[in-house]
């Protein structure tokens, strides 16, 4: 079977050797030595001023909304994973959807201002498939209208834009370290901000609001990463360059063998250093996509319709048509992409697709 993704697992003995340190310390949660070490190593690798490692990639979005004290409406994209929108609703705010850019599939920055009302408090945008939003335009719009900016950068570990980590943009950026991601801790995530005061708020929000053992700064929730998760991150991190190279090779195989006279690729934004996190292709029609997907599955190959359906179709929201996002969502398919996928498999997948479109 060829799945859409496969978790990279480091040598088990290496993970166990790191985990043994937690056993020896008798400390497996509440920000032990492994979490602290992972945060320091990630700060160095990503060249960011700070990071808060969390137990998953969804709580950072909820904590960011809480820490920024957002109310009313938050402008966002319908083309993202459900956590982007569900976090807005969970925190008592209203998502306002803006259509996506036809080339980059990120939120269309030219359509944001017309969606702003007196109730708008923020923009929550997703860097789709690791492809950066137009962060400069979004920053200008936010400053002009006094709005906060959160980036859902779940797919973006290792991505840079104009020489800087993508996590440096916005008031807050978040990332996922889920097992399916290019870097992972099994389950996990992170919060990033350059603002020291906001960092302090995010930090105590993720740790019950604690101020020492017997006092509290304010409201908080439990989002702490465990030592078990941090050990996985420390074991995976040394392999990151190799993981990235192998994924880049797979993408090169697809690029060489797919027939792009009948398919479209997503354009990676200029000045971005991409991380090779996903390989989406866009068909001419949903009928073509379904035909190809069925044929691949007959051959024990399992791509994923990601993202489908669009978030404006969620059953707890009032439905609204978002033309381009709705159209792309019906026609986009993410092909298998993982560290151990070989050229022969990529060629087989490409040949099946080419024969059906």
Q: Tens of pLDDT along 22-42?
A: 999 999 999 999 999 999 999
pLDDT at 270: 96
pTM for this entry: 0.97
Q: In the chain, what's the furthest Cα-to-Cα distance?
A: 67
Mean pLDDT of residues grouped by 10 in the chain (357 residues)? 97 98 96 98 97 98 98 98 98 98 98 98 98 98 98 98 98 98 98 98 97 94 98 98 97 97 96 97 98 98 97 94 97 97 96 96
pLDDT of 142 reads 98
CA angle 55, 123, 173 (to 5 degrees): 35
Task: Check: CB of residue 129 under 8 Å from CB of residue 278.
Answer: yes
Write out the H or E segment, with its range, that includes residue 333: strand 332-334
258 secondary structure, DSSP code: S
Tokens at 309, concatenated: 């359906």
- Classify residue 268 by burial, with Cβ atoms within 10 Å: 0-12, 13-18, 19+: middle
Q: What is the pLDDT of residue 341?
A: 96
Give the pLDDT confidence score for residue 303 in this predicted structure.
98
Query: How does DSSP assign 137-202, residue by residue?
Result: HHHHHHHHHT-EEEEE-TT-TT-EETTEEGGGSSSEEEEE--TTSSS--SS-EEEE-S-HHHHHHH
Q: Which domains does the chain have, with CATH numbers?
A: 12-238 (3.40.640.10), 239-356 (3.90.1150.10)
**Token pair of 130, please?**
């690791």
Looking at residue 65, what is its pLDDT? 98
CA 324 to chain CA centroid, nearest Å: 21
């Amino acid at each position: 079977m060829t799945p859409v993704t496969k978790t990279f697992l480091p040598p088990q003995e290496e993970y166990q050797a790191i985990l043994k340190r937690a056993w020896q310390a008798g400390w497996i949660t509440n920000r032990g030595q492994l979490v602290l070490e992972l945060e320091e190593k990630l700060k160095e690798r990503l060249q960011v001023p700070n990071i808060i490692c969390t137990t998953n990639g969804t709580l950072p979005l909820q904590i960011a909304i809480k820490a920024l004290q957002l109310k009313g409406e938050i402008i966002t994209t319908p083309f993202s994973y459900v956590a982007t929108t569900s976090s807005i609703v969970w925190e008592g705010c209203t998502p306002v959807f803006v259509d996506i850019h036809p080339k980059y599939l990120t939120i269309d920055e030219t359509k944001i201002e017309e969606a702003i009302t007196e109730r708008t408090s923020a923009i929550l945008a997703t860097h789709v498939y690791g492809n950066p939003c137009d962060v400069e335009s979004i920053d200008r719009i936010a400053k002009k209208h006094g709005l906060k900016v959160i980036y859902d950068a779940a797919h973006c570990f290792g991505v840079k834009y104009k020489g800087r980590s993508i996590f440096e943009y916005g008031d807050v950026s978040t990332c996922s370290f889920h097992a399916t991601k290019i870097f992972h801790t099994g389950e996990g995530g992170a919060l990033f901000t350059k603002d020291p005061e906001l960092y302090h708020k995010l930090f105590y929000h993720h740790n019950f609001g604690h101020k020492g053992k017997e006092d509290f700064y304010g409201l908080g929730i439990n989002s702490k990463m465990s030592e078990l998760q941090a050990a996985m991150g420390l074991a995976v991190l040394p392999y990151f360059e190799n993981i990235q190279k192998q994924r880049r090779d797979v993408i090169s195989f697809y690029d060489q063998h797919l027939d792009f006279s009948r398919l479209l690729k997503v354009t990676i934004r200029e000045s971005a250093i991409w991380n090779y996190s996903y390989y989406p292709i866009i068909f001419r029609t949903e009928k073509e996509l379904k035909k190809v997907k069925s044929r691949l599955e007959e051959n024990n190959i399992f791509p994923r319709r990601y993202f489908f359906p669009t978030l404006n179709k969620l059953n707890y929201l009032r439905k609204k048509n978002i033309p381009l996002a709705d159209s792309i969502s019906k026609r986009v398919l993410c092909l298998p992409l993982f560290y151990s996928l070989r050229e022969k498999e990529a060629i087989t997948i490409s040949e099946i697709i080419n024969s059906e479109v």
